[in-house]
Amino acid sequence: MKITGARQEPFIANPDRAVAAILLYGPDRGLVRERARRLGATVVDNSDDPFGVAELTAADLKGDPARLSDEALALSLGGGRRLVRVREATDGLSAACTGMLDAVTSAETVLVIVEAGELGPRSTLRGLFEKRQNAAAIACYGDEGGGLRRVIGETLGNHGLRPSADAMAFLMENLGSDRSVTRAELEKLALYMGAPGDVGLDDAIACIGDNASSTLDDACYAAASGDQAGLDKALLRAFNEGLHPVAVVRATARHFLRLHQAAGMVQAGKNADQAMKSLRPPVIFKQADRFRDQVRRWRPDRLAVALEMLTEAEMDCKTTGMPASAICGRTLMRIAQAARAPRGAP
């Protein structure tokens, strides 16, 4: 079965005992790992217990696919339920998982958690877990919107910290592509603050602004400035650092949304500097000149077209089965080419 939307969190907190195996997949590897830990905690108290937990990788099962069923059917030597975790899964494990699901009908004695990266809609592994009644598939995409706000509030709240509205807006702008990175950056911010209290915009910028999203910023600003050579380098670096193309597309969409807001204010009578100061969070000073040039370069109607292209690109990354990096790169290059058009061009 497929677990989506608002059903995901309640299911992870209390998984259905009729579900023997759960597939966690998606571009946000940190969220995959975090959810695997949470699901595992519903089965065993100690994830390092060698008598109750089996850790496997795709490489372990390549030459011995039957081992997955054997581990799932084994009894815990300490009593209680058993946990089996499979990491680095791909479609190559579809046959092994089919045999395991045929052998294990419920989670009364075991829960198998399979962790994978991005799997397209044509993935045989994803299709298997979505169709079986004793299995579940949960997609793990980068945090955004209300979900990201909750993660920020929860993590800082654990340290007695309360972000201001501007600080929250800045954190939401600069975090979210990977859950583990988001948590680590927020823990670093908490350490920087040193004690419970309010987190201001200056605090957030001082701790996170220079490192949390510099690679994404390079790609966004290069695309909006029409710097095709710079964009090519930024995309290569982003993908080499393990950033998923969907995260790059989303970051670029957020940047263009801010440009659209600023361009609208300029059209209504404000100058570029006034418009930039009105944004929340405000534009970081080191990017002010480039952002100002981009506001002057792009009209609101052309920005709206770019935003439509980015929305379509994200959908294509998730649904077409085409290489997501190619979709991302092609879309951003088209936008960079549009940015080089004469400023009065339609």
Provide CB contacts within 8 A for 127, sequence distance 6+.
none
Instruction: Say how far apart CA 337 and CA 346 lie, in whole Å.
Output: 13
pLDDT of res. 346: 46
Are β-strands 21-25 and 110-116 bridged in parallel, bridged antiparallel, or unpaired? Answer: parallel
- Omega cis (within 30) before 121: no
Provide CB contacts within 8 A for 288, sequence distance 6+.
276
Instruction: Say how far apart CA 246 and CA 317 lie, in whole Å.
Output: 7
Provide the residue type at 75 as one letter.
L
pLDDT of res. 343: 57
Residue position matching structure tokens 């937990």: 53
Give the Å distances, CA to CA, from 77 to 39, 48, 50, 107, 322.
21, 14, 9, 17, 45
Instruction: Say how far apart CA 264 and CA 274 lie, in whole Å.
Output: 12
Complete domains list, the chain, with CATH = 2-139 (3.40.50.300), 145-208 (1.10.8), 214-339 (1.20.272.10)
| pLDDT by 10s per residue, the chain, length 346 | 999 988 999 999 999 999 999 999 988 888 899 999 999 999 998 888 878 899 999 889 988 999 999 999 987 666 688 999 999 899 999 999 999 999 998 888 899 999 998 888 889 999 999 999 999 999 998 776 778 888 999 999 999 999 998 889 888 877 877 788 888 889 999 999 999 999 998 888 878 755 446 778 889 999 999 999 999 999 998 888 777 888 889 889 989 999 999 998 888 888 888 888 888 777 877 788 999 999 988 988 999 999 999 999 999 988 888 889 999 999 999 999 999 876 544 4
Closest CA to 102 of 51, 66, 59: 66
